[in-house]
Amino acid sequence: MRMTNRREFMQAGGIAAAPVFLARGSAVNDRIRVGIAGIRSRGFFLAKTLYGMKTENVEVAAFCDVDAEPLAAKAVEFEKFSGIKPAVYGDMRKMLEDRSLDVVIHATPTNWHALGGIWTMQAGKDAYIEKPLALTLEEGRLLVQAARRYKRIVQHGTQCRSSPEILEMRDQIKRGVIGEVYMARGIAHKYRPGIGKLQPSKPPANLNYEMWRGPAPMIPYSPNQVHYLWHWFWDTGNGDMGNLAVHCLDVMRMVLDIEEAPTQVQSLGNDLVFDNDARECPTVQTTAYRFGNRKLFIDFSLRNGYSNTEAGMGDAIPFNMGDPRDAQGNIFLGSEGYLIQPDYISYRTYLGRDRKPGPSRVGTGPADPAAWHLANFLKAARSRKISDLNADVEQGRKSAALCHYSNIAYRVGRTLQIDAASEEIVGDREAAKLTSRFYRAPYQLPTVR
């Protein structure tokens, strides 16, 4: 992959790069104006969450989406219940030219996370980037580099790090409630219907499909390859490893103090659920991680067909975070018992051979702790202290990397050997090539310098 410098990018295809602005909004009491890129689903949820928080001196000021239909509809809907009429943009670069914006929330497809995030930082704005942080290992490193170079506050959207219940769970495990943890198992057993074969056709007039593809290679439009279904294609998503597993793996890393890269990763799976299905990412995938000589084993089970939930998770979910027949969470196994985390706001422990119920907590607030996470992000945006962030970009990079290693091991069909110091895949040129990707002109990443 060749990376352009900023001058080259500005000249490419007649499309201007986002200008580099001086940061504003660094004073403690300044008003924070928020722009949101990707407003169809998650972005609009975060907009409503921000408004519902009623945080003083914070304003949702702009929406951006390459699909004109939801962009207009969501702007009207937001104005109806908030009284605020957001500015609307069909091109992220135009939104970034607005000097009055202080932060940008990125809820776009993953193939836009790195490019949009770096543009945002070069425009002198802080960024909240939804999970997974980046589409590739290389992109994650570049986002960290950009955040440090431009001195920006960048929060990763793994909101469990701001959940009071999950933080209490972390403290319980560190205090030894289940003894010494020898294994952590994550599951994402969530039914996904088949998408069928691709249906090449003309893009709808309201969708700027060329810009939707962005850095990804251009292929004919198909309605079952966009709008959430992009998760299942390697050029735009990371499958449910990047979509769901990243939350669980991030919690494991936080709870077990895993800062280093794994030294071995194995991943097997396939599309075992549907026939004649166009998706590229597996519907069944099992991944195992080893961390040098550390006495700890981690694995993750992904299933998109009908499945059990494991360890009583289905019965333990206190809130409907989707279909209650699905399950997404963690099981921590220790020398004195085990702990289950069946969602983002609860945990339960079972101690000894008889599985006697131990400490537990069930949240009483919203099932998604996004409000806590956004509040933490805004606090850091005001203080300008990276240490105030619960999910700094570096933590997002490390958690997303576990998903990338998993998918690379699956795609090459071999165990990855990783140098924990450099985090590079060793002895496998085919696998190493998958740590980066092709960038279609004029959407190459600008040089960070």
Q: How much is the pLDDT for 352?
A: 98
* pLDDT single digits (tens) 198-250: 999 999 999 999 999 999 999 999 999 999 999 999 999 999 999 999 999 99
Please state the rounded mean pLDDT for residues 135-155. Answer: 98
* pLDDT single digits (tens) 38-50: 999 999 999 999 9
* pLDDT single digits (tens) 316-343: 555 545 677 888 999 999 999 999 999 9
Alpha-carbon Rg for the chain, nearest whole angstrom, is 21
Which residues, 6+ apart, have CB-to-CB distance to 387 below 8 Å? none
Q: How much is the pLDDT for 324?
A: 75
Q: How much is the pLDDT for 19?
A: 33
Q: How much is the pLDDT for 74?
A: 98
Per-domain residue ranges of the chain: 6-160+371-392, 164-364+401-432
Which residues, 6+ apart, have CB-to-CB distance to 398 below 8 Å? 253, 258, 259, 261
Q: How much is the pLDDT for 383?
A: 97
Q: E strands along 39-132, which residues?
A: 58-64, 87-89, 103-106, 126-129
Query: What is the homologous superfamily of the domain 164-364+401-432 according to CATH?
Result: Dihydrodipicolinate Reductase; domain 2 (3.30.360.10)
Quick one: pLDDT band at residue 300, thresholds 50, 70, 90?
very high
Please state the rounded mean pLDDT for residues 401-414. Answer: 98
| CA separation for the pair 262, 249 (Å, rounded) | 12
Q: How much is the pLDDT for 107?
A: 98
User: What's 262's DSSP letter?
Assistant: P
Comparing 151-165, 304-318, 335-349, the range with the smallest average pLDDT is 304-318
* pLDDT single digits (tens) 3-29: 333 333 333 333 333 333 334 444 445
Identify the CA nearest to 324 among candidates 379, 367, 355, 365.
367
Question: What letters, b where the CB count within 10 A reaches 16 and e where it falls short, cover 397-429?
Answer: bbbbbbbbbbbbbbbbebebebeeeebebeebe
The amino acid occupying position 304 is N
Cα separations in angstroms, 186 against 11, 121, 277, 391: 46, 33, 26, 20
Q: What is the mean pLDDT of the chain?
A: 92
Q: How much is the pLDDT for 430?
A: 98
CB 445 within 8 A of CB 115: yes
Q: Which one of 3.30.750.24, 3.40.50.720, 3.20.20.140, 3.30.450.40 gives the CATH number of domain 6-160+371-392?
A: 3.40.50.720
* pLDDT single digits (tens) 346-403: 999 999 999 999 999 988 778 899 999 999 999 999 999 999 999 999 999 999 999 9
Q: How much is the pLDDT for 169?
A: 98
Tell me if the pTM is above 0.85. yes
Q: Which of 164-178, 271-285, 312-326 has the highest mean pLDDT?
A: 164-178
Q: How much is the pLDDT for 347?
A: 95
**What whole-number percentage of the chain has pLDDT above 90?**
85
